[in-house]
């Protein structure tokens, strides 16, 4: 359709009798119509009409996001930064992937300047801890633990405050660019990282980014799991996939919206989660205990 035809189509939304058919046609055209809907919103003086346009814009953006998430899933879900960016786009459709990439790259560069070939694993982690937790002062957002912003990577990079998962994601993205063998670990109620070197002379250890990069041993993890009265499970000690990380981020975000009394947003995030879990319909979110966000 030409621009003129699209504008004419949008103008027909004022007719209540044919509005459903017009909205259906707009949905068929997809996200390319959004700039025209936004222009119509700016020109309108009718609050009800603006509300309808806002809902249409959101529906188109949400449909586009679901499709991008399917593409990311089908590609293997290996690009963690892209997966977290897609979560950003639920609340912030204009979120810039390249801006996220630049922010991570700057942190990588600063950490790289402190690295040397002679460093062992512990010293490498201490150098990375220095950049993230001393220089840039990344820290736990304990005052607003359930805020949805804690799951938005670009906001965590701006505010330096996040939940266990997003702090670990930033740490993980930087570490991987430094070629460090760092991976995510799915603990109950807490997301951590593991440094798992290939060399046999170095033992794996764990990193708690929610506690400023505190280094933990396997025994520490065993004690933590025992305190929760849970049986031992390999997933509490071994690396998880990037797909697992993004799934967990979506669960956190859904719980955040529930805590904020925004059930419609929680339901939509559950739809996004369903795409990554292979479910036809979203399952109700289940809380894993306090704290919910991980």
Residue 265 neighbours by CB distance under 10 Å: 18
pLDDT of residue 293: 56
> Model confidence over 79-92: pLDDT tens digits?
999 999 999 999 99
> Model confidence over 174-208: pLDDT tens digits?
999 999 999 999 999 999 999 998 877 678 999 99
- Quote the CA–CA distance of 283 and 281 in Å, as a whole number: 6
pLDDT of residue 282: 43
Residue 29 neighbours by CB distance under 10 Å: 14
Confidence of residue 278 (pLDDT cuts 50, 70, 90): confident
CATH architecture of the domain formed by 80-242: Roll (3.10)
Higher pLDDT, 280 or 169: 169
Domain ranges of the chain: 3-74, 80-242
pTM: 0.90
> Model confidence over 61-115: pLDDT tens digits?
999 999 999 999 999 999 999 999 999 999 999 999 999 999 999 999 999 999 9
- Percent of the chain with pLDDT strictly greater than 70: 94
pLDDT of residue 281: 54
**What is the average pLDDT across 144-159?**
94
**What is the average pLDDT across 157-177?**
97
Examine residue 291 and say whether the peptide bond preceding it is cis (omega within 30 degrees of 0).
yes
Q: What is the mean pLDDT of the chain?
A: 91
> Model confidence over 223-274: pLDDT tens digits?
999 999 998 899 999 999 999 999 999 999 999 999 999 999 999 999 999 9
- Percent of the chain with pLDDT strictly greater than 90: 74
């Amino acid at each position: 359709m030409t621009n003129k035809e699209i504008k004419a189509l949008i103008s027909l939304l004022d007719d209540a009798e044919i509005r459903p058919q017009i909205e259906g046609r707009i949905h068929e055209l997809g996200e390319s119509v959004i700039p025209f809907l936004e222009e119509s919103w700016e020109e309108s003086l009718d609050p009800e009409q603006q509300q309808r346009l806002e809902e249409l814009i959101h529906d188109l953006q949400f449909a586009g996001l679901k499709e991008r998430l399917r593409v990311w899933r089908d590609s293997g879900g290996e690009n963690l930064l892209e997966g977290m960016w897609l979560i950003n786009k639920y609340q912030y459709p204009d979120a810039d992937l390249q801006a996220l990439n630049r922010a991570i790259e700057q942190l990588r560069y600063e950490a790289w300047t402190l690295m040397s070939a002679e460093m062992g694993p512990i010293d490498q982690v201490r150098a990375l801890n220095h950049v993230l937790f001393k220089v840039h002062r990344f820290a736990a957002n304990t005052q607003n633990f359930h805020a949805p912003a804690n799951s938005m990577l670009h906001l965590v990079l701006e505010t330096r405050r996040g939940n266990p998962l997003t702090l670990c994601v930033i740490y993980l993205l930087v570490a991987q660019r430094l070629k460090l063998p760092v991976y995510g670990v799915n603990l109950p109620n807490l997301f951590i990282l593991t440094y798992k070197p290939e060399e046999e002379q170095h033992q794996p250890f764990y990193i708690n980014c929610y506690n400023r990069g505190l280094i933990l041993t396997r025994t520490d993890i065993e004690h933590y799991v025992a305190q929760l009265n849970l049986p031992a499970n390999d997933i509490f000690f071994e690396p998880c996939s990037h797909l697992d990380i993004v799934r967990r981020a979506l669960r956190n975000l859904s719980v955040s919206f529930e805590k904020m009394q925004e059930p419609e947003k929680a339901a939509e995030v559950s739809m996004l989660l369903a795409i990554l879990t292979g479910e036809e319909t979203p399952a109700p979110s289940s809380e894993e205990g306090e704290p919910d966000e991980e």
